[in-house]
Every structure is written in C-alpha cells, then in structure tokens.
Structure 1
Amino acid sequence: AGIQDPSHFAYPTYAKAAIQRRENIVRSIEELKGQLEDAKGHLADAFEELKKVELLDERDQARERAEENAREQAELDGIGLMRSRMTAIA
C-alpha cells in the first residue's frame, strides 16, 4: 500500500523549500556583489575627490606661508632700513 512514514510524506515539501531558500540566497549574493562593486566605485571616486581637496589645501597653505614670510621679511627690511637711517643721522 502506501508510505506510512510521515517523514517521507513531508520530504518533497521540505526539499522544495530548501531549493527555494538556496535560490534566494544565490540571488541575494549576486545582488550584494553588484552593490559591493558600486560601493567600491563610489569609494574610489571619493578618494579621488579627497586627494584633489588635499592638494588644493596644501597649495593654499603654501601660499599663506609664502605671504606670511613676505610680510615678515618686509617688516624686517623696514626695521633694518630704520636702523640704518638712525645710525646715519647719529
């Protein structure tokens, strides 16, 4: 007559569910791989942008240092000129 063991009766349903879960997991893995590649691309773009900003910042800092050095030198030149005039008068 028929199969009397309940585990045999439920196996096809269990197997179909397991196969469906596996397919869902494989599909999720593929979707996540795509998202990972997109994220890596965005990260690379962000690093390039950061490098540009850092280079601009370094250039601005160098310009500011050069301007400060020029101001200090002009001040020192003025002091030297003033001393020179004072010694020439005395």
Structure 2
Amino acid sequence: MKARESAMRLKRFTADEMARKVADLEHMIREFDGMASDLDRQIKAEEERTGVRDPAHFAYSTFAKSASQRRDNLKTSADGLRAKLEAALRERDEALEQVARADTTTSHEQLRSRRRSERTAAVLR
C-alpha cells in the first residue's frame, strides 16, 4: 500500500508543478503584454511630441525607434510563451487526468477491501 500512496503523491506533485508552470507562464505573458502596451503609449507620446510619425524619416526619434524594437521583442517573446503555455496546458491536463484515474482506482480498491472485511466479519459472527 505504501508504494501506491507514494505513487499517488508523486502524481499529485507532478500535477501541482504543471499547474504552477501554467500560472507562471500566464503571469509572464500578462507582464510582457503590459510592458508592450506601455511602450506603445510611450512611442505614441514621443511621436506626438516630435511631430514625426514615420520611422523611416531621418528625424524620427531614436527613443521611439529603440522603444519600438523593445516592444517588438516583447511581443515576439510573448508569442513564444503562448506556444509554451499551450503545451504546458496539455501536460497539466494529462497530469490531472492521471491523478483522477488513480484516485478512482484507489477508491474502488478501498471499497472492495471494505466489503471483503465486512463479509469476513459477517461470516465470523
């Protein structure tokens, strides 16, 4: 019985780890999206301040250029994290399914052993 309990504990731990990984990825994506939005606002404000909105123009703000590059990098990173999030969600769902199956099997076995012991007790009476 100890081996089964430790296997269940391991499955639950794995499922919890997957859930934490999903939460971390979701948090990072939100952070990256928020930072990209902030950079968008700063770029627009800089373009308003300078009056030059064309990045190809010679007088375009160097701050706006570098902020645009940072924003694009953040968006690329967020897209990569979204792909990782999809994989992590699948892994988490599989781990939760394994835990649910193992719990069901364990509860069925406990019910069977309880019935056996009740029958044994009834025979002994």
Unaligned runs of 5+ in 1: 1-15, 84-90
Shift of residue 45 of structure 1?
1.4
Deviation at 1:18, TM superposition (A): 6.0
Does residue 44 (structure 1) correspond to residue 89 (structure 2)? The answer is: no
| Residue of structure 2 in register with 1:23 after alignment | 65
Amino acid at match of 1:72: R
- Using the alignment, how far apart are the partners of 1:75 and 1:33 within structure 2? 62
Deviations 1:26-60 (A, max 9, x none): 11111110001111111221111111100000100
Aligned position for 1:55: 97
TM-score normalized by the length of structure 2: 0.50
Structure-2 separation of matches of 1:18 and 1:34: 23
Asked which structure has the greater CA Rg, the reply is 1
Residue-pair matches, total: 68
Question: Per chain length, whose mean CA-contact separation is higher, i.e. which structure has more relative contact order (CA < 8 Å, sep 6+)?
Answer: 2
- Unaligned stretches of 5+ residues in structure 2: 1-57
Percent identical residues: 13
CA deviation map 1:53-80 (0-9, x unaligned): 0000010011110111010000011112
**1:74 matches 2:116:** yes
Please tell me the residue identity of whatever aligns with 1:24: S
